[in-house]
Structure 1
Amino acid sequence: MKKRARAYIISLLIGVAASLLFIFVQLPYYVTMPGTAQKLEPLVHVDQGDEDQGSFMLTTVRMGRANIAYYLLAHIRPYYELYPLQEIKQEGETDEEYTLRQLHLMKESKESAIVVAYKHAHKPVSYRPNGVYVMSLVDGMPAAHILHVGDRIVRVGGKEIGTAEQLIQYVRQKKKGDSVSITWERNGKEKTASIALAPFPQEPKQIGLGISPMTDYHITTQPSVRVDSEKIGGPSAGLMFSLEIYNQLVDEDITKGYKIAGTGTINMNGEVGPIGGISQKIVAADQAGADIFFAPNEKGAKNSNYREAVKTAKKIGTKMKIVPVDTFSDALRYLQELK
């Protein structure tokens, strides 16, 4: 009996240890899978905006570090994908820096969505540059030892800097060995340092600070608008945010009672850009019962998001209508022509 009990305890411990290994041991991969399709109306608040019968939905992809269990699932479950770490995170980027970069990309996308929606609704909107965010840092470059992801650069060479383009133009006028005085904000405090320019490790003929900049805009609208996107990262919700904001600004209901999902980045010119995980977002939208899905057309490119979305829609047998869009106007025109 004692031997049997000992064998049982040993086998139990082995089973527990194996389970822990499956769950807690992280592999050098990220795993992605279909996420959710979330209604945007609760996240977008236009002052005195009207309610509508249909809905616009934000589609997401779930992503996290792969353990052994998810690694195995990705080889047998459809629409589970594995990506090496270097394809998701930039070289030398920490988890915190990656999260900050995604949140700043969402902020940029949200700002563009507001401007596009207000312009098309013929409502007052103005915006001015308010400094330059550090989106990422090149490992080994001088700035990587001084600046942090999320810092907001406000002055260069003692002069106020407004846009990322202005910063790039200023640096281009310098030569190897020059130093640039940078003033930035971090946690509400200003700091200044002299940063040397150096060749990029991958492109030795080009010199720079070693940062990826993004313009921070201050936007003023009438009526006021608030978009609650603090927990959403990345730029892929831009198109759908712009449609929801527009729909709350105008008298008519452009959803016409349909459940409308979609994805795509958007810039201040209203141009829609491609995103990752389009197949997984099609699955998420179908599971949520969407009637229509807007997909970036990429001007008809052979491997566009739209073409991949159509293939996935056929595979899963959805009745959801896949609509190609290159601009906000394309999506708006389609909705206006709906019965």
Structure 2
Amino acid sequence: MKRKKRIRILILVVIILVAPCFYFMPFYISKPGMAKELEPIIEVEDGYTEEGSFMLTTVRMGRANIYSYLIAKFSPYQEIYPIDQIRSEDETEEEYMVRQLHLMDSSKINAIEVAYRKAGLPVNYEYKGVYVLHVVPGMPAEKKLEPADRIFEVDGNDFHTSSEFMDYISQKSTGEELVLTFERKSKVYQTSLKLDQFNDGENKGKVGIGIGLVDDKELIVEPHVTVNSKEIGGPSAGFMFSLEIYNQLMKEDLTKGYNIAGTGTISSNGEVGEIGGIHQKVIAADKAGAEIFLAPNQNGAKDSNYRVALKTAKDIKTDMKIIPVDNFDGAVSYLENLKPKK
């Protein structure tokens, strides 16, 4: 009997210890992620090789359980975010992930465009329809469309941009039926749904089907470039993508033999933008052996990513150089003038 009692107590203790791991709180936790070399991820056809490396940096982000919340509370390099700072009010976890992957795709497109134009090479687009980011609860698209669906026909008519799609719908009235043709996981489907009015404040009175959407477009460039970002989400690797792509296009090696990490969004005009978790990315870069870290300068703002990166580098006592960047051209100029590593 005593043995059975001990076993029951042991099982109860295990349950008490393990259960909090599966109880998720209304918070997200971010922590230092990884710094990953870009040359194995990006391949420009017949592109040039490099002596050093460009590296993207990441943070690890996940829902908080009781243990991870308590650890983050006492960690100087982990951050706690209320769930509404990460996801919008009616956005599901799936929709959040789809949005992050789309932001990554957009950053890749901008990076390719910036790098190829800098190299003096032509850039063209092929529009493929619209990409569903979000489905509004209570609207006609609910349970018929899903995040990541690609819509390419309405009532049998092809269209190429989100503007064309919205212009067509705006000519319709409440109750009219649409037939949408869309692709989901490489299979083509059709669905019929009736237009309805939005009830939210921003769109109240407007007619629609209830989806958030963006253009689904493919960049056409020569030589061909492949970016295998897999499950990395968000736009913050765009700037480093652009440097790696440009470096493979040009004969001169911009790395000069150094391990160069960095972060920042990239716009189609080459501006480098602010990102979150800069201090965590500095830590990830330092652990990976980076010698130079390129940080968004935000035109010298007092609270810029660059200034936070400088402070973090000082706190962790790294020898890594922190370099401010405002735009792609400025970063290239800095690297072109960098003395080769001995």
* TM-score (normalizing by structure 1): 0.87
Q: 1:70 to 1:39 in 2, by over 3 A?
A: same
CA contact (8 A) 2:144 2:191 kept: no
2:110 matched to which residue of 1? 112
Tell me how far apart the structure 2 counterparts of residues 206 and 313 of structure 1 sit (CA, whole Å): 52
Q: 1:222 to 1:105 in 2, by over 3 A?
A: same
More displaced, 138-147 or 272-281? 138-147
2:101 matched to which residue of 1? 103
Deviations 1:283-309 (A, max 9, x none): 111221212222223344444333332
Q: CA deviation at 1:138?
A: 2.8
Does 1:39 pair with 2:37?
yes
More displaced, 71-80 or 293-302? 293-302
CA contact (8 A) 1:132 1:163 kept: yes
CA contact (8 A) 1:200 1:210 kept: no
1:281 matched to which residue of 2? 281
2:132 matched to which residue of 1? 134
Does 1:314 pair with 2:310?
no
CA contact (8 A) 1:238 1:266 kept: yes
Q: 1:142 to 1:281 in 2, by over 3 A?
A: same
Tell me how far apart the structure 1 counterparts of residues 266 and 110 of structure 2 sit (CA, whole Å): 6
1:199 matched to which residue of 2? 198
Q: CA deviation at 1:39?
A: 0.5
More displaced, 37-46 or 157-166? 157-166
SS in 2 for 1:143: coil
**Counterpart AA for 1:113:** A
2:80 to 82, 87, 98: 82
More displaced, 16-25 or 180-189? 180-189
2:294 matched to which residue of 1? 294
Tell me how far apart the structure 1 counterparts of residues 317 and 294 of structure 2 sit (CA, whole Å): 17
CA contact (8 A) 2:141 2:193 kept: no
**Counterpart AA for 1:287:** K
Unaligned 5+ segments in structure 1 are none
Tell me how far apart the structure 2 counterparts of residues 281 and 206 of structure 1 sit (CA, whole Å): 44
Task: Please give the residue correspondences for 1:154-303 in structure 2 after superposition, counting only pairs within 5 Å.
Answer: 154-156=152-154, 159-168=157-166, 182-187=180-185, 188-203=187-202, 205=204, 207=206, 208-303=208-303
1:63 matched to which residue of 2? 61
Q: CA deviation at 1:16?
A: 1.6
SS in 1 for 2:34: strand
Deviations 1:118-143 (A, max 9, x none): 11112343222221111122333333
**Counterpart AA for 1:201:** D
Tell me how far apart the structure 1 counterparts of residues 177 and 323 of structure 2 sit (CA, whole Å): 50
Deviations 1:43-66 (A, max 9, x none): 111122222111100101112222
Tell me how far apart the structure 2 counterparts of residues 35 and 271 of structure 1 sit (CA, whole Å): 25
* TM-score (normalizing by structure 2): 0.87
Tell me how far apart the structure 1 counterparts of residues 154 and 311 of structure 2 sit (CA, whole Å): 49
1:326 matched to which residue of 2? 326
Tell me how far apart the structure 2 counterparts of residues 145 and 335 of structure 1 sit (CA, whole Å): 51
**Counterpart AA for 2:319:** K
Q: CA deviation at 1:236?
A: 1.5
Unaligned 5+ segments in structure 2 are none
Deviations 1:197-221 (A, max 9, x none): 4235242546354322222222222
2:145 matched to which residue of 1? 147
**Counterpart AA for 2:24:** Q
SS in 2 for 1:144: coil
2:14 matched to which residue of 1? 16
CA contact (8 A) 2:181 2:188 kept: no
Q: 1:10 to 1:147 in 2, by over 3 A?
A: closer
> Sequence identity of aligned pairs in percent?
52
Q: 1:281 to 1:203 in 2, by over 3 A?
A: same
Q: CA deviation at 1:185?
A: 2.5
Tell me how far apart the structure 2 counterparts of residues 224 and 132 of structure 1 sit (CA, whole Å): 24
More displaced, 154-163 or 240-249? 154-163
CA contact (8 A) 1:181 1:194 kept: yes
Q: CA deviation at 1:110?
A: 1.4
